[in-house]
Structure 1
Amino acid sequence: MGKNITLSVIKADIGGFVGHSSVHPGLLEKARGMLSGHPLLIDAHVTHVGDDLNLIMTHEGGRNNGEVHQLAWDVFQACTEVAKKMKLYGAGQDLLSDAFSGNIKGMGPGVAEMQFEERASEPVVIFMADKTEPGAWNLPLYKIFADPFNTAGLVIDPKMHNGFNFEVRDLIKNRKVVFSCPEDLYDMLVFIGAPGRYCIKRVFHRDTGDICAASSTQRLNLMAGRYIGKDDPVLIVRCQSGFPAVGEVLEPFAHPHLVSGWMRGSHSGPLMPVGLEQCNPTRFDGPPRVVALGFQLADGKLHGPQDFFADPSYDRARETANAVAEYMRSMGPFEPHRLHLDEMEYTTLPEVSKKLKERFIDLRK
């Protein structure tokens, strides 16, 4: 029997360097110092994508563990103080409260967690995105766990042939539904094709019930009641031995898809797969980026990371993303580059609508 492990990935934007492009090395150093050797943790890795600080932690406390969440909150608070001293942009913007309330969920930072029994070999991929929202994972997760054109194992691996269960969250009405695929595939696509509202939260193996993937689904503007940026989600995917192979998990990102976010969280653009050395978005604060780090878990220790998208085989994907970005930027303030009006409610739209209210003439009278 393997060790029972909880893998927690918790992220927050607590100050950009410079603007919204990156994280200052001082913040990374502060976070590493606070997590290194901490008695609550088995292991930890601190990294960033764009202006988001990402904490990757293993422990035995289970999901939603108050002490682990408190530790992450303390790290973000301490890093916020460093950011304020440096006058970094948006210092502490993802922290929606001054006091921890027992669980970090609903307080601003994004959280993806899963608890499982370690297998004889336990490879995991941790995806981290910047300048986009949780729905950005919908298309890749569909391809990874439900599309045989992406994942050959769905056809030829007896351990995967029966499919997977998808837990989908309705972020507006705060409810969930589980789809069993392939039977429920068409029904599921009705919902996950609207990623601004419906997001795949978790994926489970149908035969064993084992957790396969877990994402963050926090939407900052819904929690705060105002626009404070997109949510820059994280995703954990377990690989191999009855789960999709590492190559099948990475393959969807070879074809950049359009996601919401980019400049001021108000534009559509391609999700560009990049290595850590290229994860600082600059063109129009973008385009949106995704980093994939691979770890081999052994008794909770994080061996890695392997920086998957630094591979030159993703150069064509980056070229495609740049071409799509050029095309989308040419539309300026027009949809579909600018998000549709429902997604603009936390920008200047309400103020402009209020100002012009009396100038609109009702043609039905």
Structure 2
Amino acid sequence: MLDGTTDVSGRMVHGRQQAFFIPTQVLYSVAELGVADELGMKGPRTAQELAMSLGVDEKRLYRVLRSAVQMGVFAAIKPKEAGGAVGCKNNRLSACLREYHPNCLREMILYFTEHSNPAFDELAWAVRTNGHAWKKTHDGLSQFDWLQLHPKEEQLFCKAMQQVDGLGTHAMATDYGWNGHSRIVDIGGAYGSFMAHLLSVNRKPLGIIERAKEIWAENPEWSTLTPRMEFVAGDFFNAETLPKAADGDVFVMRLILHDWDDSDCVRILSSLCTAMGSAKARLLIVETTLGGGAEFLDPLFRRALLDLHMMVVHDSAERTVPEWKDILQKASFSFGRHIPTRSVFSIVEAFPA
């Protein structure tokens, strides 16, 4: 009773929070083992049946599945007779761990657990030293430089980012008036999934994806959209390689700039401003916007956690509207407006000054 009270609620809360790393590892383990795919192919199974199919230890798998069911990831099936083994089946949460599910998040879970989590182990060090935690745990290299040297992990990262693309995409596609523009130019569009969703929901615009042609070819289900598409290989640090703007265009940078520090953001946006020239076009920056107390009122504290992720992995940050105004001004853009959406992401609108 060192604090003069008998209230133990604080200790209980901290105890529960300290145990949060265990559910993360449970989720990672069932994703890595492929439990959801096995259940999807063969239907409800007991731990014994799953262990035989997956080639793992039955008793230990049972203990992991028991926790996963209590987390809501799988559904338990009562045995048909007394003393029988409890079965397990997929539910809407575990279905997202199946490889070919349209809302699959399996690779995102695998990549972040394997590579972001070790960097987060250095969070206190990063705060103490103002250091780059990812570089400390990945041979002194940035994430993008490290991935270039590890093709297998880069492939996993690409799949993970495709799955991240699906988070908030529908809100982005419907909460802004895309049909008011003749062309949508997605700078750093990477995998094409965001543009595909935009064009499937909004029938009027044409689309340009910068840096995504080879990825698009791997997605035949989007083939009906290709007549409305143009593909451009480019480098957003080099204005000469970027698409040139025409009147009525809207340029989009979605979840790009939060990977870079302020000085690099100014360089990227200055390059983009040059490419846009004097055309009557606008820029939309799609990011998580902080400030105004929104990150403190978010019950899932998603904004705050995304900002920490940027700090740890990229040595960068999510930004406030005043911070965006300052960066835009330095890059010769004028701020237009801030547009919230139904997702955790919002839109910062700007125009070449």
Q: If the length of structure 1 is used for normalisation, what is the TM-score?
A: 0.25
Per chain length, whose mean CA-contact separation is higher, i.e. which structure has more relative contact order (CA < 8 Å, sep 6+)? 1
Higher percent of residues as helix: 2
Higher Cα radius of gyration = 2
Q: If the length of structure 2 is used for normalisation, what is the TM-score?
A: 0.26
Higher percent of residues as strand: 1
